[in-house]
Structure 1
Amino acid sequence: MTVDHEGRGTTLAGHDQAPGSGGRRRANGALEAEILTLLHATRRALTPGEVTERLTAPLAHTTVATTLARLHARGVLDRAPQGRSYVYAPVADESGMTARHMHQVMEGGNDRASVLTHFVDELSDDDEDLLRRLLGNDG
């Protein structure tokens, strides 16, 4: 492990680690989840630098910028030019993001009817009643 000019611990391969973490890396998706939570809570578009400043663990600006670019490429974030950088914002609120994820999971299945059947079978009574009301089928 090396220490960069800002006192952050990094591996020789350049993977960011929190100081004192003993070389442990974040779990897959943990940084993406933290960034999305931060952007939803902020309720405005942020630059990679602003995101970096607000994260719980210090990370290299390039790591955050790369993660933001990947989320944008996957259609999770919108981005707009601002000066020499971009600002990033979620394409949907948290419930919209969850619904989008559910739709992506459905698209990945081979038997939609079976997937939906299993999904509905596992709903709580309250959620099943809510689904019936949303579908306009109260009885």
Structure 2
Amino acid sequence: MRTLGDLESAIMDRMWSYHRPASVRDVLEDLRQSREIAYTTVMTVMDKLYKKGLLKREPQGKAYVYETVGTKESYTAQLMRETLASGGNQAATLVHFLERLTPEEAAALESALQVFPPRGGRP
């Protein structure tokens, strides 16, 4: 899974925020609040996101209605796993990552580990 380009990210952020299916026109109108953009550009990018497996779609009349396949958090987690797997020494990568955590991020990690403790290892 590759990271998203600027427009792909803007579209996915909107799709994740909707929590419902949306048409190209819905996304276009939302995007036009902050930039000038063509319908065909949004349609093309949403088709690419569909082909990448990030959006699913259902026909509605002559167009499609799109919906996210997963949450933003699950997408981010997958990117993190792939990055860790490609980083060479996983232990060293994790140490460098942990060294850079803000207090808020460290607290979030501690909370996550309470919900889902590491497998294997410690009792």
| Fold in common (TM above 0.5) | yes
How many angstroms apart in 1 are the aligned matches of 2:82 and 2:90?
Answer: 12
Count of paired positions: 112
Deviates more, 1:111-120 or 1:86-95: 111-120
Counterpart pick for 1:135 among 113, 117, 120: 117
Q: Contact 1:49–1:61 (CA<8 Å) still a contact in 2?
A: yes
- Give the partner amino acid of 1:67: V
Counterpart residue type for residue 98 of structure 2: V
Map of 1:43 onto structure 2:
19
Q: 1:37 to 1:132 in 2, by over 3 A?
A: closer
User: Following the alignment from structure 1 to structure 2, what is the Cα–Cα distance between the partners of residues 67 and 39?
Assistant: 13
Measured in 1, the distance between the counterparts of 2:107 and 2:62 equals 50
> What TM-score, normalized to structure 2?
0.70
Q: Structure 1 length as normaliser, TM-score?
A: 0.63
1:33 match: 9
Give the Cα separation in 2 of the matches to 1:98 and 1:129: 18
Structure 2: unaligned runs, 5 residues or longer? none
Q: CA deviation at 1:91?
A: 1.5
Tell me whether 34-43 or 62-71 shows the greater mean CA deviation: 34-43
Q: 2:62 aligns with which of 79, 84, 94?
A: 84
CA shift, 1:64, in A, is 0.3
Alpha-carbon distance in structure 1 between the residues aligned to 2:82 and 2:95? 17
The 5 Å alignment of 1:83-102 reads 83-102=61-80
1:128 Cα shift?
A: 4.7
AA of the residue aligned to 2:78 = R
The higher radius of gyration belongs to: 1
Identity %: 29
The aligned amino acid for 2:117 is: L
**Please, which runs of 5 or more residues in structure 1 have no aligned partner?**
1-27
Tell whether the 8 Å contact from 1:52 to 1:58 is kept in structure 2 after alignment.
Answer: no
Query: For residues 55-134 of structure 1, what are the structure 2 equivalents within 5 Å?
Result: 55=31, 56-123=34-101, 124=103, 125-133=106-114, 134=116
DSSP 3-state at the match of 1:59: coil
Please tell me the residue identity of whatever aligns with 2:110. Answer: D
Q: Does the CA contact (< 8 Å) of 1:79 and 1:87 recur in 2? A: yes
Q: If each structure's helix is expressed as a fraction of its own residues, which one has the higher value?
A: 2
Q: Which has the higher contact order (CA 8 A, sep 6+)?
A: 2
Q: Give the SS at the match of 1:135.
A: coil
